Structures are given as C-alpha cells and as structure tokens.
Amino acid sequence: MQRLLRNTENKVRVRRVRWTLLMFSCLCQVKMGKKHMDDVEIKALIQDMIAAATDTSAVTNEWAMAEVIKHPQVLKTIQQELDSIVGQDRMVQESDLVHLNYLRCVVRETFRMHPAGPFLIPHQSTRATTINGYYIPKNTRVFINTHGLGRNTKIWDNVEEFKPERHWPHDGSRVEISHGADFKILPFSAGKRKCPGAPLGITLVLMALARLFQSFDWSPPEGLRPEDIDTTEVYGMTMPKAQPLIAIPRPRLPAHLYD
C-alpha cells in the first residue's frame, strides 16, 4: 500500500495519471495540497474501502449459498421466481433485482442469521445519555450485537431455522433488505452513522446470487447430504464459515448464454 501510494504521488507530480488510479490521485492531491489527510489516513481510507466492499460481500454470498444448498426447496423457489421474471433465454440484469422479492427474502434471512459484521463498527458516545432506562456515560464504546438481534426469540420464531418466507410482505411490496421500517435486523447499522456503501453492498450480493442461482443447479459433493452441510461460524470482525463451502454446479441454461 505504501509503495502504491508513493508511485501514485510521483505520477500526480508529472501529470501522468491513469483513470484506474483516479481515486488514489484525488487523495494524493488532497495531501499534497496540505489539506487534512496524511499518509496514514489515506492508507486507512483505501483499506476501509477495499475491505468493506469485498470481505463482507464474499462472506454473505458464501453463507447464502450454504443455506440455500442446504435447503433444496429454497433453491427451487428462487429458480422458479427467476424463470418467471427473467426467463431462461437471457441472463438476469441489475434492473431485474427489484422484482426478485423471494431472492430478496433469502438475502434478508441470510443477514438475520449470519450478519457479516456481528458487532458492526464500534461507536462512541459523545455525551452522557439515557436510553430505555440505561445510563450511558460520555465516551462509552458501543457495539451493536446484530448476531444476537437476529436470533432474539422475543422477535423471531424458530430462530435457528433458515426460513426466507418469514420476510415476505403481506401487501406484496418490495422487500427492504437493509433494515426496513421495523428495524428487526441491522446489517448495515442505521441512522447518520450507517454504512454509506449499503446500497452497493446489497446490489453486489443480489446480483452475484441471482446469476449463480439462475445459471446453475447446486448440490453438495458426492456422499454429503444437503442437510449435513456444516454451518459452524467463526467470530471476529467478520463472521465467515468455519469450513469453506464446497458445492457442485450443473448448468441449467442454454449453452450460448455461458459464452
């Protein structure tokens, strides 16, 4: 990262900046103009952008794949929705995602059971306050237990069961994945400090899963039953599977669509 930063600074000085380095160039211009960002802040910002956009999306996709393959009826329902709305003569596009309500339920249920960030990003109170009878002193470090929130038996029934249908709206409206009006899940936090990349993250996850489920039938390796897929978690800043998912794809669309 340090070497990349230095190389980009040199290119900025001689005005030989590629479009692919535009983001780095803008950050370097800020630094060279003696604004508020130094090397440490620039590197931290770049790492945040890379880590927040890649690791969390990859973890969520793997969990969704694992749960769907573990529940073949869910996969069948997803593919029925895709065939009905998109068809099998073209690939799903981003414009289709708003109409894939069952797939949106699957992603929301994945966020409920397996939030990529189980405690979100730590926050700190700027002043003393009282919330629902709890006194919170100034400068208190606050973590939001989204993993516990998604398995709260006062809110959810059968918390250990992967059941996308629980999120289906009775009025047929679009399923809100981020948190919705009820705030029952908070995969991206909420309020002024919520994740600014939430819309992009949701689109990345939906698009990847839609393409994977439209293009292929999925099953566990030979000798392993779907219900035996391991869903053990590893806790940390993110919460990936303890064991990587191994799955077998079988094409289900016309051959020319894979070219």
Per the annotation, binding residues for heme are 195
Distance CA 218, CA 146 (A): 29
Q: Which helix (H) or strand (E) holds 103?
A: helix 101-113
**Backbone φ and ψ of 248, nearest 5°:** -110, 120
3-state SS assignment for residue 194: coil
Residues annotated as binding site? 195
Tokens found for residue 123 = 């926050």
Lookup: tokens for 59 = 């973890």
Closest by CA position to 165, among listed 61, 74, 241: 74
- CA 105 to chain centroid, in Å, comes to 14
Token output for 174: 């679009």
Task: Tell me whether residue 194 is exposed, middle or buried, using C-beta atoms within 10 angstroms of its C-beta: 0 to 12, 13 to 18, 19 or more.
Answer: middle
Among 254, 116, 100, which Cα is nearest to 185's? 116
End-to-end CA distance of the chain: 36
Q: Distance between CA atoms of 206 and 18, rounded to whole angstroms?
A: 31
Give backbone dihedrals phi and psi of 50, rounded to 5 degrees, phi first: -70, -50
